[in-house]
């Protein structure tokens, strides 16, 4: 045995529904339709490449809005699904038949991009009766071949060998062209937050020839890994906002914002009395909401924003000016921005209160 694994995924709509169909690509990756999910396993069976809920009318799960129980895969890693769907909750993209035919179910055919996050093509296929697709295959040109059953007398036929339903339930066979995935698209990115210098993987389509990647408008260095994947580094000066990718056809922007996380690189001086001016150096300080002297050497204490708050001034995205507040004791420094709190790698040492000064005396 090369591998054998359980597969029960929390993101799937019907966890009790087992395997429905399986396809393998040329690299040995397994594409599984199971539990209401489209799932891709790597060639060793040791990790998920992706798993996406296909159909969930309850609205509780992010899903592709497609039905499918049979699967095929092409040489580019697009997954083709065939099954059935009702008249609600479906996601139609470039449909050959955009309207529900009738009956309890219509056959449904869909094409999903190599990241498993976007529907490239989907369509109803059926008439006024009940129609279900049970099998699908794909040729080298991206044509989908679908087989199933129908009770519809008005099932759509083109160039038919048999143009009329001969009985209560007939088999149908259909061949349809599917569009190439030509749209520049950001399907997802990971991680969704991080400090300057974080490597972010962007998944989508049409990345070959990309000319720019930006984080909320700030250009980033990037590498085009493949037509569906880019790795980019969070640039200095980036702020919270969407990621964009540009190629010769235009620019696409992510629907989700990347959350810029502050980072404390250093502070100076390392010690001082109450009132001592302290300069904190790091990244992503623009818009900072709090600076705290945490009163403890423990790094995780900052996450609870406990300690002694200090007045501060953001000098730039990489520098903050503050001072040791009254009541502070030795401990880590904390900076909060965008809902995240950065912690210094070492403690600031408070040497006590300022020495007393004589401003006047009386009588002389």
Domain count, the chain: 3
Q: Is 3 a member of any domain? A: no
Same domain for 124 and 38: yes
Same domain for 85 and 101: yes
Q: Find out whether 223 and 230 touch, Cβ atoms under 8 Å.
A: yes
Q: Is 357 a member of any domain? A: no
Q: Which of 252, 253, 249, 205 has its CA nearest to residue 230?
A: 205
Q: What percent of the chain has pLDDT over 90?
A: 56
| Burial zone of 60 (CB within 10 Å; 0-12 exposed, 13-18 middle, 19+ buried) | exposed
Q: Which CATH number fits the domain that encloses residue 299?
A: 2.60.40.10
CB under 8 Å, gap of 24 or more: what pairs does 94-100 form? 94/120, 94/121, 94/122, 94/123, 94/179, 95/121, 95/122, 95/123, 95/124, 96/123, 96/125, 96/176, 97/123, 97/124, 97/125, 97/126, 97/156, 98/123, 98/124, 99/124, 100/124, 100/126
Selected residue with higher pLDDT from 362 and 174: 174
Phi, then psi, of 281 in degrees rounded to 5: -115, 140
12: pLDDT strictly greater than 80? no
Q: Find out whether 17 and 67 touch, Cβ atoms under 8 Å.
A: no
Identify the domain boundary among 177, 197, 219. Answer: 177
Phi, then psi, of 302 in degrees rounded to 5: -60, -30
pLDDT at 129: 93
Q: Which of 260, 279, 269, 238 has its CA nearest to residue 340?
A: 260
pLDDT at 16: 65
Q: What average pLDDT does range 348-355 have in this prediction?
A: 78
Identify the domain boundary among 177, 194, 212. Answer: 177
C-alpha span between 35 and 54 (Å, rounded)? 9
Same domain for 164 and 27: yes
Selected residue with higher pLDDT from 26 and 117: 26
Same domain for 160 and 72: yes
pLDDT at 338: 86
Q: Find out whether 318 and 285 touch, Cβ atoms under 8 Å.
A: yes
Looking at every residue in the chain, the average pLDDT score rounds to 88
pLDDT at 228: 85
Q: Is 359 a member of any domain? A: no
pLDDT at 168: 83
Same domain for 27 and 166: yes
Work out whether strand 277-283 and strand 271-272 pair parallel, antiparallel, or are unpaired. unpaired
Could you give the C-alpha distances from 89 to 93, 199, 325, in angstroms and in order? 13, 36, 57
Write out the residue range of the structural domain in which residue 294 sits: 263-350
C-alpha span between 134 and 148 (Å, rounded)? 5
DSSP 255: E
| Model confidence pLDDT, tens digit, residues 175-200 | 999 887 777 888 889 999 999 999 99
**Which two structure tokens, joined as six digits, stand for 117?**
């996050």
Q: Find out whether 13 and 37 touch, Cβ atoms under 8 Å.
A: yes
| Model confidence pLDDT, tens digit, residues 262-318 | 999 999 999 999 999 999 999 999 989 999 998 777 666 665 556 788 999 999 999
Same domain for 166 and 27: yes
Identify the domain boundary among 196, 231, 260. Answer: 260
Same domain for 138 and 42: yes
Same domain for 269 and 190: no
Model pTM? 0.64
Same domain for 140 and 96: yes
Q: Is 321 a member of any domain? A: yes
- In the chain, how many H helices and how many E strands? 0, 29
| Model confidence pLDDT, tens digit, residues 96-150 | 999 999 889 999 999 998 888 888 899 999 999 999 999 999 999 889 999 999 9
pLDDT-derived band at 359 (thresholds 50, 70, 90) equals confident
Same domain for 172 and 23: yes
């Amino acid at each position: 045995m090369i591998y054998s694994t359980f597969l029960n995924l929390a993101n799937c709509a019907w966890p009790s529904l087992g395997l429905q169909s399986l396809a393998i690509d040329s690299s040995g990756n397994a594409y599984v339709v199971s539990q209401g999910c489209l799932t891709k396993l790597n060639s060793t069976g040791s990790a998920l490449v992706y798993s996406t809920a296909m159909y969930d009318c309850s609205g509780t799960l992010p899903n592709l809005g497609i039905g499918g129980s049979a699967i095929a895969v092409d040489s580019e890693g697009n997954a083709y699904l065939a099954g059935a769907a009702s008249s609600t909750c479906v996601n139609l993209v470039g449909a050959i038949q955009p309207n529900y035919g009738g009956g309890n179910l219509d056959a449904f055919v869909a094409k999903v991009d190599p990241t498993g996050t976007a529907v490239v093509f989907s369509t109803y296929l059926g008439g006024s009766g009940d129609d279900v697709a049970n099998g699908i295959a794909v040729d080298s040109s991206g044509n989908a071949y679908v087989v199933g059953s129908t009770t519809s007398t008005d099932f759509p036929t083109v160039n038919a060998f048999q143009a009329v339903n001969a009985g209560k339930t007939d088999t149908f066979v259909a061949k349809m062209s599917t569009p190439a995935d030509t749209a520049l698209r950001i399907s997802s990115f990971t991680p969704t937050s991080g400090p300057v210098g974080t490597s972010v993987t962007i998944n989508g389509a049409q990345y070959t020839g990309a000319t720019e990647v930006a984080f909320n408008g700030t250009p980033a260095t990037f590498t085009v890994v493949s037509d569906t994947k880019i790795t980019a580094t969070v640039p200095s000066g980036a702020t919270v906002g969407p990621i964009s990718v540009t190629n010769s056809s235009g620019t696409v922007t992510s629907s989700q914002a990347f959350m810029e996380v502050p980072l404390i690189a250093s502070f100076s001086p390392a010690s001082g009395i109450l009132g001592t001016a302290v300069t904190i150096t790091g990244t992503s300080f623009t818009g900072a909401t709090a600076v705290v002297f945490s009163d403890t050497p423990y790094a995780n204490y900052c996450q609870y924003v406990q300690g002694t708050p200090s007045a501060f001034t953001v000098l730039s995205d990489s520098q903050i000016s503050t001072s040791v507040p009254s009541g502070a004791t030795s401990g880590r420094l904390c900076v909060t921005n965008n809902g995240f709190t950065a912690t210094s790698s070492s403690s600031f040492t408070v040497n006590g209160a300022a020495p007393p000064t004589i401003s006047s005396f009386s009588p002389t």
